[in-house]
A and B are shown apart, each in its own frame.
Chain A
Amino acid sequence: MDTFVSTYVWPAVIMVAQSLLLLVCLLLLIAYFLLADRKIWAAVQLRRGPNVVGPWGLFQSFADLLKFVFKEPVIPAGANKGVFLLAPLVAVTLALATWAVVPLNAGWVMANINVGILYVFAISSLEVYGIIMGGWASNSKYPFLGALRSAAQMVSYEVSIGFVIVTVLLCVGSLNLTDIVMAQHDGLGTRLGLPASFLDWHWLSLFPMFIIFFISALAETNRPPFDLPEAESELVAGFMVEYGSTPYMMFMLGEYSAIVLMCALTTILFLGGWLPPVDVWFLNWVPGIVWFLIKASLVFFMFAMVKAFVPRYRYDQLMRLGWKVFLPISLAMVIITAFVLKFMGWA
């Protein structure tokens, strides 16, 4: 009995506690990223943004949460009830499940698996199911059109994201996310004889891929300027038209979780994760999680700015960008990176 407790029960308790802690921190982070998104958008348009609930509107997201939860969920008469309710659950579960492998600091990771980046890629490629299921189960034209657009969009941009990830993997030689960050400790800068700094991170050595990854991440998470699935001028609200109250909130949560994940992933793949920008003692003394959060917030700031000042793409332009611009460039970069690594003997 004692061995049973020490081998199964105790690790399970610790794992559940860690997961809960990560989840709570993540949800708080998402609440404030959501607020930051609205504030930045407002500031660009010379508005105040949410400023009523709490000081400077700091508790706005929690007020919204309460509002969503206490509203009555309405299920359309013609909807496929089971799938209709399953869709937001799938969306939010998958979006949160990805965080299991994301390292926030050296060793701060729930599951340090060998194929970490593939796991993230696999789970984020499943997120499209929440959208398709929601659009289909609503049994209405606009949600269905929105779902079809979204599915085509996500599948298209996953291809270029995949190739971007492959170039990073070629440079690192491992699929483990912690290894990917640690590999950026030395890189282009140190090869030129400089001390370890932000010049070693992949954003510089793989600069075109960094841009492609950022734009593809926007498209993958259905952010403006690629928010065609929910283009309000054409499709009302896309696949979410028939949703309200808690199910709607779950879709929102899933979407924002995916956005924050993409910020974290950009940080890990290209911005050196938790590594300090310059290898000096007082910057090394700052905990890695702080650097990680700063970098992820910077990427999110770019996400929010793009939303504020780039007009929405037309659907054929979106497809052209994905298939005719990003795919050839990223494919060529995979080949070029492989050749450079091989002939320079850096692999």
Chain B
Amino acid sequence: MGLQALFFYLFAFVAIASAFMVIWARNPVHSVLFLILTFFNAAGLFLLTGAEFLAMILLVVYVGAVAVLFLFVVMMLDIDFTKLRSTALEYAPVGALIGLILAAELIVVIGGSVISPEIGKSIANPIPDLATRTNTAALGDQLYTTYVYFFQIAGLVLLVAMIGAIVLTLRHRTNIKRQDIATQVARTPETAVEVVKVKPGQGL
């Protein structure tokens, strides 16, 4: 238990410290790098609770894909900080509101389980014993049986988002050369080569 507590405080401390640094860092690229460190430590915290599948998915999806895109965009954009900082206070009320809502939700969830610890047993699909069932299998069971429609709807929402992004950015330019692999492969000597018999000394 002692080791687990040690690692919990390590991950939690680094996560919170790097979350602060995300806001604090002057360079936006450093901010994103600290954000990645925060994700990494969050994955560590997931591991400590036994949610190994979620931890790995957090790394694959957020750190491996989403944060790469963040980093891409932030590196490519030339952001003017003095301008950003001057208008930062305008966003403070909205940010505070979101923070307040998140804090309230956390208090309800954690408070609920503190006031009545047996509330966990009343949920429809309690967490199975992790010693007998890997949580990948447990998650899969729930996701593809009980919640299969929600899963499908989430997939459709993502599909719509993807098609939307493609439609917004697709720009078909006409006057450029494109490589068409199929036509290249379909070419035969008959269609591509013309054999001309040239008499000596005459040329074409």
Instruction: Identify the A interface with B (CB < 8 A).
Output: 8, 80, 83, 113-115, 118-119, 121-123, 125-126, 128-129, 132-133, 136, 144, 148, 151, 155, 158, 162, 174-175, 316-317, 320
Contact = CB atoms under 8 A, between A and B. Distances in A.
Contacts of B72: 132, 148, 151
Interface of B: 3, 27, 29-30, 33, 36, 52-53, 56-57, 59-60, 63-65, 68, 71-72, 75, 134, 136, 179, 181
A125 B67 CA distance: 11
A115 B179 contact: no
A122 B29 contact: no
13 contacts: A115-B56, A118-B53, A122-B64, A125-B64, A126-B59, A126-B63, A126-B64, A128-B64, A132-B75, A151-B68, A155-B64, A155-B65, A162-B60
A31 to B, nearest CB: 29
Contacts of A8: 3
B59 A125 contact: yes
B65 to A, nearest CB: 6
B29 A83 contact: yes
A125 B60 contact: yes
B60 A118 contact: yes
B123 to A, nearest CB: 24
Given A122-B59, A175-B136, A132 B71 contact: yes
> Which 10 pairs, one residue from A and one from B, show the smallest C-beta to C-beta distance?
A125-B64, A122-B59, A118-B56, A122-B60, A114-B134, A115-B52, A122-B56, A115-B56, A136-B75, A125-B60
A123 B43 CA distance: 12
Contacts of B75: 132, 136, 144
Given A122-B64, A125-B60, 4 more contacts: A113-B52, A115-B134, A121-B56, A155-B68
B102 to A, nearest CB: 26
A93 to B, nearest CB: 12
A119 B179 CA distance: 38
A83 B56 CA distance: 25
A68 to B, nearest CB: 26
Nearest to A119: B56
Contacts, number: 64
A316 B27 CA distance: 32
B59 to A, nearest CB: 4
B33 A114 contact: no
Given A113-B52, A114-B52, A155-B68, A129 B36 contact: yes
B128 to A, nearest CB: 14
Contacts of B134: 114-115, 174-175
Nearest to B58: A122
Contacts of B63: 122, 125-126
Nearest to A152: B72
Contacts of B60: 118, 121-122, 125, 162
Contact of B68 (A121, A123, A128, A175): A128
B136 A158 contact: no
A115 B139 CA distance: 13
B146 to A, nearest CB: 20
A113 to B, nearest CB: 7
Contacts of A129: 36, 68, 71
A129 B53 CA distance: 22
Nearest to A316: B179
A151 B68 CA distance: 8
Contacts of B57: 118
Nearest to A314: B179
Contacts of B64: 122, 125-126, 128, 155, 158
Nearest to A82: B30
Contacts of A128: 64, 68
A316 B180 CA distance: 12
A115 B134 CA distance: 9
B182 to A, nearest CB: 11
B35 to A, nearest CB: 12
A158 B53 CA distance: 18
Contact of A114 (B30, B71, B136, B179): B136
- Which of the listed residues B3, B52, B68 has the most CB atoms from chain A within 10 Å of its own CB? B68
A341 to B, nearest CB: 14
A115 B138 CA distance: 13
- Which of the listed residues B30, B64, B134 has the most CB atoms from chain A within 10 Å of its own CB? B64
Contacts of B27: 80
Contacts of A174: 134
A8 B75 CA distance: 44
A110 to B, nearest CB: 16
Nearest to B67: A129
Nearest to B134: A114
Given A83-B33, A136-B29, A175-B136, A125 B65 contact: yes
Contacts of A115: 52-53, 56, 134, 136
